[in-house]
């Protein structure tokens, strides 16, 4: 079994490179944000004469949008279907209207191809349902994007008999997603601080710092992967990151626990040896736990539908990164830190007698 | 031996019974029943799985400022959280509308009414002068119990706490009111959006930092009112623009596929534990079934809102629940390799692994509590699920597994191979490290 602590610079190197790539990508590329964060438009269509499922609708919309884009959600409400599409990243306010119109036109065309153009029964506007329809009509004065719709969507001419009709178009703010991301960030920082306190109290300060650093490392690289690969990020992604934050600490703590125990029992070993022994003694456990976790979440990823895959993927990535950092980074980092503390102390004491003696 | 066997069989039966209750529920009478997850009222499904209600509110004022609209969004968010709709979403639509999506809501009319209410709380004296408003209230909650001495009937009421200024204003007002007893003007009215909630008579000065509002409230009314008082007053009233019932964002197959994935994942973990840890693994498998049963019962009875990510999280937790057992069993194997007897190796393994199990779980509990306590919306719900998973898995891994293993030893099952040890482990000294 080779000495992980001695080869530490290989692992530190991998970590540092991955972190740097992540930071650079987060700064310059950012995320591919979903409607939860970027805002977008909600289109409501009335479809008559033919039944449809939300799955079919999603497929039609994805095809209409092209370029790998898809609706962020498709919901059915009686004969109505509500389709939400997120704005492109970095879109300016002026471009939004154009974007909205392009999206509306392409989806409308695609739906008309599938379900036929709108046909009305020609009844006069006095139908009781007409009031309801009018109520869902967009507020033209308030929304520039929707104003265009109001002129295009027929508001009179009776009830829809067959085909498809756009009944409203609204833009949606990103507020809730951003709010959630902000509060998630604050809570993560608070959680890190609390974990640091707890680990310092139960172990010592060095272990606390190492554990929290490993945690930050895991989350940073996970965010980096999403930024580099431009995988779409929605509210569920926040929950996934929080899952990783909650569980990735476990591996580290089990190793730290063994280090604590071995430090107590040891007389002559260096910190490096203690760390290396502790890592290997807990290795089977680290591997087996990672396997059982990957067995379940992996099944979710393999069998699940697209949106659940999108939730499982960051967790899988996070678990793998978490395994790497717990096993290959935390132990060596702890040993290096303790060694340098001892060296510093010795230097301060003027080559005193504290010859690698543990407390 | 026979006693151990009886205990062992008993706990297996208990686990089987719990599992049955978790899946199918248990009906004592019509009133007292425990729903299982297959019951229709068992699981509260999120907007993505079950659909729900979309309500669009329009500001009943011309040109609301952006700041006011942000306030409205935050207030609605808080009201929904306080009422337990943590999975609901609130977004701004256009410049003067707010879109609220509530999953699986039973009564959309009430939801519309309570959410859109301005919630202007006013305390007035007998002459109609405002004494204080809702801004002087720091906390409000709905409670159930006897509101007056000597009356045995219990009812729902709202309990409020005042700020120091509120306490002073209330104290002065009650003093004035009590003095007006002779003219029969000794009452204070408490109004919500102009409707009188209650108008209690005042007999003496009340210098207290809290008060209660009684009335003929139902449980839902009381909790909605308390939520509105607590979350504060809207800057303007909201008109309902549209209300519609929407389908799930995910199709039918999403849920069934997730459940299939969960069952396959569970079977794989059970097999993995059995293969690697043999007899100990089997005991851990029983403990894992206990964990699954308890989680199902909790999900079905605490009305935790389940979204697809929530289900994925629960399935993930199955894989993580065995972690504590893996830590312990590895430790037991190490002790066996040192040549200890099975009984002392199991004891030592559990004792030595305990600190690792507790410390690693407490750190996760810390994150879960912070998410649950400070989080809003989805994050809050996620925190609860996480917390529940950790606590139950810790109990099952430490207590249930240990109890079962003790019975095994009691039945004289002491072949070390069964405890995960191979022949080669005993002959060659393979334990490295600083142990004597």
Q: Is the pLDDT of residue A149 over 50?
A: no
**pLDDT given for residue A218 in this prediction:** 95
Whether residue B55 has pLDDT greater than 70: yes
The domain spanning residue B100 has which CATH number?
3.30.70.3400
* Chain A partners within 8 Å of B368 (Cβ): 246
The C-alpha atoms of residue A72 and residue A40 are separated, in whole angstroms, by 9
**Parallel, antiparallel or unpaired: strands B97-103 and B121-124:** unpaired
Query: Closest-CA residue in chain B for A35?
Result: B91
Residue A176: the pLDDT is 61
Percentage of chain A with pLDDT > 70? 84
pLDDT at A137: 41
* Cα dihedral A163, A165, A171, A175 sign: negative
Chain-chain contact of A176 with B269 (C-beta, under 8 angstroms): no
Helical ranges in B197-251 per DSSP H? 219-231
Q: Which carries the bigger pLDDT value, residue B173 or residue B435?
A: B173
pLDDT at A267 over 70: yes
Query: What 3-state class would DSSP assign to B224?
Result: helix
Summarised one tens digit per residue, pLDDT across range B337-375 is 888 888 899 999 999 999 889 998 898 888 888 888 887
Over residues B84-97, mean pLDDT: 77
Q: What is the average pLDDT across B71-78?
A: 81
Over residues A128-133, mean pLDDT: 40
Buried b (16+ CB within 10 A) or exposed e, B112-129: bebbbbbbbbbbbbbeee
The count of CB pairs under 8 A between chains A and B is 281
DSSP category for residue B180: G
The larger pLDDT score, comparing residue A147 to residue B201, is at B201
Q: Which chain B residue lies closest to A253 (C-alpha atoms)?
A: B360
Q: Does residue B7 surpass a pLDDT of 60?
A: yes
Supply the pLDDT for residue A13: 95
Task: Please say if the pLDDT value at position A144 is more than 70.
Answer: no
Asked whether the predicted pLDDT for residue B218 surpasses 90, the reply is no
Give the residue from B222, B246, B270 where a domain finishes.
B246
What is the Cα–Cα distance from B147 to B158, expressed in whole angstroms?
10
Tell me: do B218 and B127 sit in the same domain. yes
Dist. CA A30–CA A5, nearest whole Å: 35
Contact: B93, A80; criterion CB under 8 Å: no
Say if residue B327's pLDDT is above 70.
yes
Model confidence at B212, in pLDDT bands (50, 70, 90)? Answer: confident
Is the confidence at residue A332, as pLDDT, over 90?
yes
B210 and B125 share one domain: yes
Intra-chain end-to-end CA distance of chain A, in Å: 28
Looking at B200, B233, B266, the residue that finishes a domain is B233
How many Å apart are CA B76 and CA B232, to the nearest integer? 10
Same domain, residue pair B413 and B266: yes
CATH number of A8-33+176-348: 1.20.1640.10
Q: Is B108 on the interface with A (CB under 8 A)?
A: no
Task: Quickly count: other Cβ atoms within 10 Å of residue B56's Cβ.
Answer: 23
Q: Which range has the top average pLDDT, A302-306, A346-350, B250-254? A: A302-306
Interface test with B, best of A304, A318, A319 (most B CBs within 10 A): A304
SS3 A236: helix
- Tell me what pLDDT residue B283 has: 92
The yes-or-no verdict on residue B196 having pLDDT over 80 is no
pLDDT at A188 over 80: yes
Q: B259 with B210, same domain?
A: no
The stretch B74-85 carries a mean pLDDT of: 77
pLDDT of the residue at B436: 37
* Distance to chain A for B303, nearest Cα, Å: 19
Among A102-116, B116-130, B283-297, which range has the highest average pLDDT?
Answer: B283-297
Asked whether residue B34 falls in the same domain as residue B178, the answer is no
**C-alpha to C-alpha distances, B264 to A240, A303, B21, B259, nearest whole angstrom:** 21, 10, 21, 9
Q: Using a CB–CB cutoff of 8 Å, tell me whether B239 touches chain A.
A: no
Residue B152 and residue B106 share a domain? no
Higher pLDDT, B103 or B401: B401
Say what the pLDDT of residue B149 is. Answer: 62
Interface of B with A in 301-340 (CB under 8 A): 308-309, 311-313, 315-316, 318-320, 322-323, 326-327, 330, 334
Test the A interface: residue of B93, B333, B336, B397 with most A CBs within 10 Å? B93
Phi, psi for residue A152 in degrees, rounded to 5 = -90, -45
Distance from CA of A79 to the nearest CA of B (A): 10
In a domain, B433, yes or no: no
Supply the pLDDT for residue A174.
66
For the residues B50-66, what does the mean pLDDT come to? 81
Number of structural domains in chain B: 3
What pLDDT sits at residue A282? 92
Task: Check whether A359 has a pLDDT greater than 60.
Answer: no
Does the pLDDT at position A116 exceed 60? yes
Q: Among A196-200, A277-281, B220-224, which stretch is predicted with the lowest mean pLDDT? A: B220-224
Calpha distance A23→A181 (Å, rounded): 18
Cβ atoms of A256 and A332 within 8 Å: the answer is: no
Note whether A296 contacts B268, CB cutoff 8 Å. yes
In this structure, are B256 and B371 located in the same domain?
yes
Please state, for a pLDDT cut of 90, what percent of chain B lies above it: 13
Comparing B122-131, B138-147, B375-384, the range with the smallest average pLDDT is: B375-384
Residue B271 within any structural domain of the chain: yes
The string of pLDDT tens digits covering residues A295-318 is: 999 998 999 877 788 888 999 999
Residue B13 pLDDT exceeds 90: yes
Residues 44-73 (B) with a CB less than 8 A from some CB of A: 48, 51, 54, 58, 70, 73
Rounded to an integer, what distance in angstroms lies between the CA atom of residue B37 and that of residue B292? 12
Q: What is the mean pLDDT of residues A215-236?
A: 89
The residue from B188, B213, B246 where one domain ends is B246
pLDDT at A112 over 90: no
Q: Inform me whether the pLDDT recorded for B111 exceeds 70.
A: yes
Are B241 and B254 members of one domain? no
Identify whether residues B100 and B241 lie together within a single domain: yes
Query: Nearest-CA neighbor of B350 among B399, B390, B391, B415?
Result: B399
Whether residue B429 is predicted with pLDDT greater than 60 in this model: the reply is: no
Residue A77, min C-alpha distance to chain B (Å)? 4
**Closest by Cβ to A191, choosing from B92, B366, B382:** B366
* Contact residues on chain A for B312, CB-CB shorter than 8 A: 297, 300, 304, 308, 311-312, 315
Average pLDDT, chain A: 80
Inter-chain residue contact B359 with A257, CB threshold 8 Å: yes
Q: Give pLDDT, residue A16.
A: 95
CA distance B84 to chain A (A): 17
| Confidence class for position A125, pLDDT limits 50, 70, 90 | very low
**Same-domain status, B133 and B159:** yes
With an 8 Å Cβ cutoff, are B370 and A194 in contact?
A: yes
Dump pLDDT digits (tens) for A160-171. Answer: 777 888 887 877
How far out from the chain centre does Cα B232 lie?
A: 23
Identify the pLDDT of residue A129: 41
Least confident among A23-27, A64-68, A107-111: A64-68
Whole-number pLDDT of residue A298: 93
pLDDT band at B116 (very low <50, low <70, confident <90, very high): confident
* Domain of residue B217, CATH code: 3.30.1360.200
- pLDDT at residue B16, as a whole number: 92
Question: Would B375 be classed as within a structural domain?
Answer: yes
Place of tokens 């909201």: B238
Task: Show residues of chain B in contact with A261, CB under 8 Å.
Answer: 352, 355
pLDDT value of residue B151: 64
Q: B246 vs A77: CB contact, 8 Å cut-off?
A: yes
pLDDT at position A278, please?
Answer: 93
Residue A297 has its nearest CB partner, among B91, B93, B319, at B319
Residues 6+ apart with CB under 8 A from A60: A110, A111, A114
Percent share of chain B, pLDDT over 70: 90
Domain with CATH 1.20.1640.10 in chain A: 8-33+176-348
Show residues of chain B in contact with A146, CB under 8 Å.
Answer: 94
B204 and B290: one domain? no
For B274-323, the pLDDT digits (tens) are: 999 989 999 999 999 999 999 888 888 876 767 777 777 777 778 878 88
Flag whether B164 is in a domain.
yes
pLDDT recorded at residue A358: 45
Is the domain of B297 the same as that of B371?
A: yes
Residue B14: per-residue pLDDT: 93
Rounded to whole angstroms, the Cα distance separating B218 from B155 reads 8
Domain range for B330 is: 2-41+250-426
For residues B203-218, average pLDDT: 77
Chain A residue closest to B268 (CA)?
A: A295
Do the domain assignments include residue B436? no
What is the token pair recorded at B398?
């430490």
CA A224 to chain B, closest CA, distance in angstroms equals 21
């Amino acid at each position: 079994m080779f000495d992980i602590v001695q080869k530490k610079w290989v692992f530190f190197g991998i970590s540092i490179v991955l972190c740097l790539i992540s930071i650079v990508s987060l700064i310059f590329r950012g995320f591919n944000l979903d409607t939860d964060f970027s805002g977008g438009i909600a289109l409501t269509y009335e479809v008559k004469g033919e039944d449809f499922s939300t799955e079919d609708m999603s497929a039609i919309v994805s095809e209409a949008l092209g370029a790998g884009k898809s609706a962020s959600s498709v919901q059915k409400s009686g004969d109505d279907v509500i389709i939400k599409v997120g704005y492109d990243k970095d879109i300016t306010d002026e471009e939004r209207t154009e974007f909205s119109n392009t999206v509306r036109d392409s989806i409308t065309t695609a739906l008309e191809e599938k379900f036929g153009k709108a046909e009305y029964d020609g009844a006069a506007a006095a139908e009781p349902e007409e009031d309801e329809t009018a109520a869902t009509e967009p507020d033209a004065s308030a929304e520039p994007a929707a104003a265009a719709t109001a002129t295009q969507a027929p508001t009179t001419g009776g009830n829809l008999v067959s085909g498809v009709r756009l009944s409203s178009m609204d833009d949606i703010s990103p507020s809730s997603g951003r709010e959630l991301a902000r509060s998630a960030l604050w809570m993560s920082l608070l959680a890190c601080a609390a974990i640091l306190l707890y680990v310092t109290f139960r172990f010592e300060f060095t272990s606390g710092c190492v554990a929290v650093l490993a945690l930050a490392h895991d989350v940073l690289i996970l965010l980096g992967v999403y930024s580099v690969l431009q995988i779409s990020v929605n509210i569920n992604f926040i929950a996934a990151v929080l899952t990783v934050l909650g569980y990735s600490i476990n591996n580290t703590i089990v190793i730290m626990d063994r280090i604590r125990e071995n430090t107590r029992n040891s007389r002559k070993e260096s910190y490096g040896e203690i760390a290396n022994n502790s890592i290997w003694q807990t290795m089977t456990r680290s591997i087996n736990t990672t396997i059982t976790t990957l067995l379940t979440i992996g099944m979710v990823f393999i069998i699940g539908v697209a949106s659940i895959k999108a939730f499982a993927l960051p967790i899988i990535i996070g678990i793998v990164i978490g395994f790497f950092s717990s096993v290959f980074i935390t132990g060596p980092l702890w040993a290096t830190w303790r060694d340098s503390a001892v060296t510093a102390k010795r230097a301060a004491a003027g080559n005193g007698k504290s010859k690698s003696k543990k407390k | 031996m026979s006693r151990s066997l009886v205990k062992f069989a008993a706990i297996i039966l208990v686990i089987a019974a719990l599992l049955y209750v978790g899946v199918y529920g248990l009906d004592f009478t019509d009133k007292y029943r425990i729903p299982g997850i297959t019951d229709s009222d068992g699981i509260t499904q999120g907007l993505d799985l079950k659909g729900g209600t979309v309500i669009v509110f329009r500001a009943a004022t011309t040109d609301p400022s952006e700041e006011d609209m942000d306030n409205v969004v935050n207030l609605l968010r808080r009201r929904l959280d306080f009422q337990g709709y943590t999975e609901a979403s609130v977004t701004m639509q256009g410049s003067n509308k707010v879109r609220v999506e509530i999953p699986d809501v039973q009564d959309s009319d009430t939801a519309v009414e309570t959410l859109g209410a301005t919630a202007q709380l006013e305390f007035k004296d007998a002459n109609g002068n405002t004494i204080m408003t809702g801004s002087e209230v720091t906390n409000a909650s709905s409670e159930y119990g006897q509101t007056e001495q000597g009356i045995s009937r219990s009812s729902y009421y709202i309990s409020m706490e005042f700020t120091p200024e509120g306490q002073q204003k209330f104290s002065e007002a009650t003093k004035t009111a009590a003095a007006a007893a002779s003219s029969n003007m000794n009452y204070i009215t408490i109004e919500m959006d102009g409707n009188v909630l209650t108008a209690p008579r005042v007999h003496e000065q009340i210098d207290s930092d809290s008060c209660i509002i009684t009335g003929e409230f139902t449980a839902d009314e009381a909790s909605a009112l308390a939520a509105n008082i607590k979350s504060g007053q809207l800057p303007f009233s909201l008109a309902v623009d549209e209300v519609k019932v929407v389908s799930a964002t995910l199709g039918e197959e999403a849920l069934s596929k997730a459940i299939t994935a969960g069952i396959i994942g569970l079977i794989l973990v059970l097999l993995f534990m059995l293969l690697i840890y043999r007899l100990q693994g089997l005991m851990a498998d029983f403990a894992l079934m206990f964990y699954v049963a308890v989680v199902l019962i909790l999900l079905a009875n605490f009305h935790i809102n389940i979204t697809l990510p929530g289900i994925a999280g629960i399935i993930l937790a199955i894989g993580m629940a065995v972690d504590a057992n893996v830590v312990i069993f590895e430790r037991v194997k190490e002790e066996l390799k040192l040549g200890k007897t099975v009984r002392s190796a199991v004891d030592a393994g559990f004792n030595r692994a305990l600190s690792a199990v507790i410390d690693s779980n407490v750190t996760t509990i810390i994150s879960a509590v912070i998410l649950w306590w400070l989080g809003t919306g989805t994050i809050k719900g996620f925190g609860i699920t996480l917390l529940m998973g950790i606590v139950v898995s810790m109990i099952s891994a430490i207590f249930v597994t240990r109890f079962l293993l003790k019975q095994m030893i009691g039945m004289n099952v002491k072949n070390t191979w069964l405890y995960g040890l191979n022949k080669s482990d005993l002959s060659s000294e393979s334990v490295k490290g600083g142990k004597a």
